[in-house]
Each structure stands twice: as C-alpha cells, then as structure tokens.
Chain A
Amino acid sequence: MHELGIMTGVMDAVEKSAREAGAQKVLEVTLSVGEMTEAIEDALQFAFEVLSESSQLCSDATLKINMISPKSECLECGAVYTHDRFHMLCPECGGFATQLLEGRELQIDSIEVDLPDDAESGADADKSGVSDDELGQ
C-alpha cells in the first residue's frame, strides 16, 4: 500500500545521483529490502514500472531487489541465528531477550548508468553486449 511512496523516494534519489554523475540513462537499480519490513517485492516492482515510465532517465531501467533474511542475536547466550518473520526466540536457549541484526533494511545499494563516454565508444559497448548475449545463449 505504501510501496508507491517508498518507490517515489527511490526514484528521486536515483535521478539525483545519476544527474550528478552526468549519466544519460539509468540501466539498473539495485535495492536491499529486509523481510521484516512491510514492503512487498511485487508491489515495489509494480511501483517501479509505473514511475519509471514517466522518467526520462529511468524509462529503460530494470529493478533488482535483494531480499534480506532476518538475523538476530540472543542477548542471553550470544547465539546468532537466522529465522523467519514469525519466530524471534533464541533456538539455542529459548531466550526472550533478542536483538535483530538484519532484516529491516530499506536501502538503495547501487545503480548502473550509461555515461556520455559509453555513447562515444558505443560501437565497442555494443560489440561486447552482443558477444555477452551470444555467450549467454
């Protein structure tokens, strides 16, 4: 429900960084999203599609989301363990006092952009792009 608002913030930050770097196009945006947040992967993708359509810089960009599994530390016995959204108790000692170490991330990791230099040496870039594709097939 609030993913559109979150993604609006992402687009603002991405466009600002891309412009500062003098980029002509944003090719890829990579996010880290913790599974303990209320942001849903599909809804983020949808919001990105909607917003990137009307963005000159991001119209061809794809969104990559790294979902981060929750990890906690037990403050009683010191055990560090991964868990799902529903079970926070320490699996070693059953301790109640636990601290979440990972799983609440909402972060823009990086962006891939086309710089003017890339366009000038466009032939090379195209060539390497094609060969990559051929290798992939």
Chain B
Amino acid sequence: MAHIDLKQPILDKNDQLARELRQRFAENHVFVVDLLASPGSGKTSTILATIDALRDEFNIAVIEGDIASSVDAERIKAQGTPAVQINTGGACHLESAMLKRAIDMLDLERLDLIIIENVGNLVCPTDFDLGENMKVMILSVPEGDDKPLKYPGVFQAAEAVILNKVDTMPVFNFDEEAFTSAVNQLNPQAPIFRIAATKEQGVSEWAEWLAEKIRAVQ
C-alpha cells in the first residue's frame, strides 16, 4: 500500500479557467458582476434597471444563465443591450467553462461592465469561481426575512446584498430589522441596497456604488 499526497483543489480545472478569465477581464478593463438569487426574485428586472441607470456612462453586456430557454436574453436585447444566453441543460449553476464560451462571443475591448445572471439558485453557484470581480446577491421581500439563516453561504459569498421588491414590505410582513441583523452577522462588510427594480426605487444608490467599482478598474 502506498500513500500519495495530492493537496489538490477539487475545483482545480474550474478555478484555473476562472483565473484566466479574470486576467482577460483585467487586461480589457472590464468589470464583471455575478448575480446570485432565487428564481423569481427579480434578477432580470434588477439588471434592466441597472442598465438604465448606467448606460450613459458605460458599455454594458449581459450573460444569462438558465437551465433552458432564452426568454431573459430576449428581454435584455429588447432594451438594446447585447446579451448572450447560456443554457446549462439541467446544471444548477454556471461553471467557468460555460462562461468562457459566452465571453468569447463578446467584444471585451469595447465593454466596461458585464453582468452575469447566474442560474436561479441560492446554493450551488456559491462554490464556483467564474473569474468575476464580485458576486452580488438579490433577495426579494416575498421570499421572507429568514433566508440569511437558511442559506448562509450565498450571503457570505456576496460583496453586496440587494433587497428587491421593498414596495411589497407591508403585504409580506417582512421583518427588516431581523433581516439586516442576520446579514450583518453573516457578512459584516456587505452593504444592503433596498430597491424596487420595476418601480425605479432605490436603484440609483446601488448603481452609483457599482459605478465606483467599474471606474476603479478603468
């Protein structure tokens, strides 16, 4: 019997490719955001509102990750922003190899910001580095204020938390104080942005915070 030391990261292949992508993004001065959230939390609406707020200053493209369909990419394209759809064919998260195929279809030199809409899932995408500058998570009010307690990983992986659909707070009995304190415990440094994406409420504060990050890599 022999003992072989490997000390090898399990996601080595994914992480290696993610490092290469990160290098390409840096060389082209593109800022990349990976958005994580549940299905129906308003990822696409948040992206559309973010584009509206930033399109005058930055060239933006969107990569849409879904198990199937190109519904989301069509919605983005209809607003005049380039969008590439990735269908994972059942996989619950995006991996860097999938992202690379989408990136190869974009003209990186012309872009300032790429927003990746990951597959709607609060668990699996957390473990996969895509070479992005940061992960941001969206929680919508109807999902409930207890989600940080149930899905701690995603709240920790995120550099910022967007609380969407805040206009529905009175209807859903959302305890914002409990939510904020749970997020602060899990991820003390993450700002929380309160928005209602389809009502253009609170979006400018989030967009300005993001704009600072984009300018920093230009």
**Shortest distance from the beta carbon of A39 to any chain B beta carbon, whole Å:** 7
Task: Confirm or deny: A87 has a beta carbon within 8 angstroms of a beta carbon on chain B.
Answer: yes
CA distance A97 to B187 in the complex (A): 9
Chain A: residues with CB nearer than 8 A to chain B?
Answer: 1-2, 5-6, 9-10, 13-14, 17-18, 21, 23, 27, 31, 36-39, 85-89, 95-98, 100, 106-115, 118, 125
Which B residues between 145 and 187 are near A, CB-CB below 8 angstroms? 149, 152-153, 156, 182, 184-187
CA distance A108 to B7 in the complex (A): 6
Closest to B122 in A: A38
From A17, A37, A96, A125, B127 is in contact (CB under 8 Å) with: A37
Task: Confirm or deny: B1 has a beta carbon within 8 angstroms of a beta carbon on chain A.
Answer: yes
| Pairwise interchain contact A9-B5, C-beta atoms closer than 8 A | no
Which B residues between 65 and 87 are near A, CB-CB below 8 angstroms? none
Residues of A within 8 A of B9 (CB): 106-108
Residues of B within 8 A of A36 (CB): 153, 156
The 8 closest A-B pairs by CB, nearest first: A96-B188, A2-B124, A106-B10, A108-B6, A38-B153, A85-B152, A108-B8, A38-B123
Closest to A107 in B: B9
| Pairwise interchain contact B1-A125, C-beta atoms closer than 8 A | yes
| Pairwise interchain contact A110-B6, C-beta atoms closer than 8 A | yes
From B2, B121, B152, B182, A113 is in contact (CB under 8 Å) with: B2
User: Interface size for chain B: under 10, 10 to 19, 20 to 34, or 35 or more residues?
Assistant: 20 to 34
Chain B contact residues: helix, strand, loop or mixed: mixed
Chain B: residues with CB nearer than 8 A to chain A?
Answer: 1-14, 91-93, 121, 123-124, 126-127, 149, 152-153, 156, 182, 184-189
Chain A contact residues: helix, strand, loop or mixed: mixed
| Pairwise interchain contact B5-A110, C-beta atoms closer than 8 A | yes
**Contact of A86 with B149 at beta-carbon distance under 8 Å, contacts A38-B127, A106-B10, A111-B6 already known:** yes
| Pairwise interchain contact B10-A9, C-beta atoms closer than 8 A | yes
Closest to A128 in B: B1
| Pairwise interchain contact A10-B10, C-beta atoms closer than 8 A | yes
| Pairwise interchain contact A13-B10, C-beta atoms closer than 8 A | yes
| Pairwise interchain contact B8-A13, C-beta atoms closer than 8 A | yes
**Shortest distance from the beta carbon of A3 to any chain B beta carbon, whole Å:** 9
| Pairwise interchain contact A112-B127, C-beta atoms closer than 8 A | no
| Pairwise interchain contact A88-B186, C-beta atoms closer than 8 A | yes
A sample of 12 inter-chain contacts (CB < 8 A) reads A6-B11, A6-B127, A37-B126, A86-B149, A86-B152, A97-B188, A106-B9, A109-B7, A110-B5, A110-B6, A112-B2, A115-B2
**Shortest distance from the beta carbon of A81 to any chain B beta carbon, whole Å:** 13
Closest to B9 in A: A107
CA distance A118 to B124 in the complex (A): 41
Between B8, B153, B184, the greatest number of chain A beta carbons within 10 A of the residue's beta carbon is seen for: B8
| Pairwise interchain contact B4-A2, C-beta atoms closer than 8 A | no
